[in-house]
């Protein structure tokens, strides 16, 4: 089947996503009968493009690199209206073959405007895949409900662990298992910084390095104040523990210049200071927190260096299961979007078997 894609946001992740689609074209066609074309792109500062027959993604990437606007279509519409208009134009939405790819940046105040984008897309008959933490962190249950009502999917595998299929893992491979809680290291910037600070590096210097490497968020306080980790924690808790949290409900402590000496002292004592994200059911509610924790050296989380992330799930039937991502980056996040797309294709393919049989 051919998916028509509407790209909402066209930063590094979306650009890598379209080049990855190109690189994996043969595999997607052969193994999953999936092909794609980008019919619309909307950006914050680089214009908009719509083309029913598909736009050439590589040309868009080049254009964006040169700093030129990718197009000037429908600039008078709000982004949500542009999503609706794009969905109305072709027949793909009606057939369930339209996918909105949401990759705008996280707004930690309310998760907007991404949540509105997701709502507009679902209401227009599009599936949504997103690497944005906001929608699942602020409005998971409402959006999952809207998706179910619309008969469409709302997937966000890239929101927490880049390419590591943490949500898919629980949904597809641990049936009948109850998740009782989790703990993990989920923010690369602070993990790098803590390692550097253990070695005597200053907070400012360590942060500057992460910014120079393009790993820190554009607004680095989202990393250092623990907001990124809190958003991921809320998303995980909402999905896995059936919680109703926003990032503001997560008991949150970030890292500061004062954290440096603590990290040095921990290391001297044979321990490691890590920014740990955790949530668990407690007295009928879900308690979630993000804070620096001194961990014994043999704790799995203590051994994570740099961009390595991990989540340890506590379950009723299989005890503790940990999944560790030993490298992260753009390709991994773009892959998460690709794996969401394949998940949608697999479901459609099961349903269309049913539809074909009915005819």
From 72-80, 104-112, 274-282, 326-334, span contacting a copy of itself (CB under 8 A) = 326-334
Give me the least distance between CB of 90 and a copy of itself, in Å please: 25
CA angle 150, 153, 154 (to 5 degrees): 110
Q: Rule CB under 8 A: is residue 268 a binding residue for a copy of itself?
A: no
Q: Indicate the helix (H) or strand (E) that contains 150.
A: helix 134-150
Q: At residue 145, what are phi and psi to the nearest 5 degrees?
A: -65, -45
Q: What are the DSSP E strand ranges found in 179-268?
A: 179-185, 251-252
Q: How far is the CB of 168 from a copy of itself (least distance, A)?
A: 4
Q: Binding of a copy of itself at residue 312 (CB under 8 A)?
A: yes
Number of residues that bind a copy of itself (CB under 8 A): 52
- Choose which of 19, 32, 89, 105 interacts with a copy of itself (CB under 8 A): 32
Which positions ≥6 away from 286 have C-beta within 8 Å? 237, 241, 242, 243, 245, 279, 280
Residue 1 binds a copy of itself, judged by CB under 8 A: no
Is residue 351 involved in binding a copy of itself (CB under 8 A)?
Answer: yes
Which CB, 31 or 81, lies closer to a copy of itself? 31
Catalytic annotation on 232? yes
**β-bridge pairing 320-325 and 309-315:** antiparallel
CB-based contacts of 313, cutoff 8 Å, min separation 6: 170, 179, 181, 182, 240, 320, 321, 322, 323
Cα–Cα distance list, 7 to 11, 49, 126, 145, 249 (Å): 10, 10, 12, 23, 31
Residue 24 contacts a copy of itself per CB under 8 A: yes
Q: How far is the CB of 44 from a copy of itself (least distance, A)?
A: 28
Give the whole-angstrom CA distance, residue 333 versus residue 250. Answer: 24
Of 42, 190, 246, 332, which one interacts with a copy of itself (CB under 8 A)?
332
For position 358 contacting a copy of itself by CB under 8 A, the verdict is yes
Contact between 330 and a copy of itself by CB under 8 A: the answer reads no
Told to check if 355 binds a copy of itself by CB under 8 A, we report yes
Which residue number, 134 or 158, has a Cβ lying nearer to a copy of itself? 158
Whether 157 and 167 have beta carbons less than 8 Å apart is answered as yes
E-strand ranges in the chain read 2-8, 35-42, 47-55, 71-72, 98-102, 127-130, 154-155, 179-185, 251-252, 271-282, 285-296, 309-315, 320-325
Q: Which of 94, 110, 133, 232 is catalytic?
A: 232
Range in contact with a copy of itself (rule: CB under 8 A) among 96-104, 180-188, 254-262, 344-352: 344-352
Q: Of the listed pieces 49-57, 116-124, 278-286, 296-304, which binds a copy of itself according to CB under 8 A?
A: 296-304
Contact status: 57 vs a copy of itself (CB under 8 A): no
Q: Any contact of residue 179 with a copy of itself (CB under 8 A)? A: no
Which residues, 6 or more positions from 332, have their beta carbon under 8 angstroms from its beta carbon?
158, 162, 163, 164, 325
Q: How far is Cα 209 from Cα 197, in angstroms, rounded to an integer?
A: 12
Among residues 4, 73, 162, 198, which is the contact residue for a copy of itself, using CB under 8 A? 162
Residue 317 in the binding site for a copy of itself (CB under 8 A): yes
List, by residue number, the catalytic residues. Answer: 232
Binding site for a copy of itself (CB under 8 A): 20, 24, 27-28, 31-32, 162-165, 168-169, 172-177, 298, 300, 303, 305, 312, 317-329, 331-332, 335, 338-339, 342-343, 346, 350-351, 353-358
């Amino acid at each position: 089947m051919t998916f028509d894609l509407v790209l909402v946001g066209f930063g590094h992740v979306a650009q890598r996503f379209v080049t990855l689609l190109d690189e994996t074209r043969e595999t997607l066609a052969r193994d999953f009968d999936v092909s794609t074309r980008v019919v619309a792109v909307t950006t914050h500062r680089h214009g908009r493009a719509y083309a029913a027959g598909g736009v050439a993604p590589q040309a868009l990437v080049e254009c964006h690199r040169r700093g030129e606007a990718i197009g000037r279509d429908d600039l008078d519409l709000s982004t949500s209206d542009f999503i609706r208009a794009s969905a109305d134009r072709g027949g793909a939405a009606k057939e369930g073959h339209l996918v909105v790819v949401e990759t705008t940046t996280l707004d930690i105040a309310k998760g907007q405007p991404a949540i509105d984008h997701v709502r507009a897309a679902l209401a227009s008959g599009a599936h949504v895949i997103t690497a944005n933490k906001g929608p699942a962190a602020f409005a998971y249950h409402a959006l999952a409900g809207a998706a179910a009502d619309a008969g469409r999917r709302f997937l966000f595998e890239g929101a927490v662990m880049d390419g590591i299929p943490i949500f898919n893992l629980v949904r597809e491979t641990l049936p009948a298992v109850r998740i009782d809680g989790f703990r993990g290291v989920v923010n690369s910037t602070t993990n790098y910084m803590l390692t550097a600070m253990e070695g005597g590096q200053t907070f400012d210097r360590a942060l500057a390095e992460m910014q120079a490497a393009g790993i820190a968020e554009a607004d680095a306080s989202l990393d250092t104040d623990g907001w990124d980790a809190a958003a991921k924690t809320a998303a995980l808790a909402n999905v896995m523990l059936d919680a109703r949290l926003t990032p503001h409900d997560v008991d949150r402590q970030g890292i500061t210049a004062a954290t440096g000496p603590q990290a040095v002292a921990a290391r001297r004592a044979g321990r490691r200071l890590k920014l740990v994200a955790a949530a668990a059911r407690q007295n009928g509610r879900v308690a979630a927190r993000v804070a620096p924790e001194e961990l014994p050296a043999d704790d799995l989380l203590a051994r994570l260096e740099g961009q390595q992330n991990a989540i340890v799930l506590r379950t009723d039937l299989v005890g503790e299961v940990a999944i560790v991502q030993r490298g992260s980056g753009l390709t991994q996040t773009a892959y998460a979007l690709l794996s969401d797309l394949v998940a949608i294709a697999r479901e459609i393919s099961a349903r269309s078997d049913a539809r074909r049989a009915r005819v």
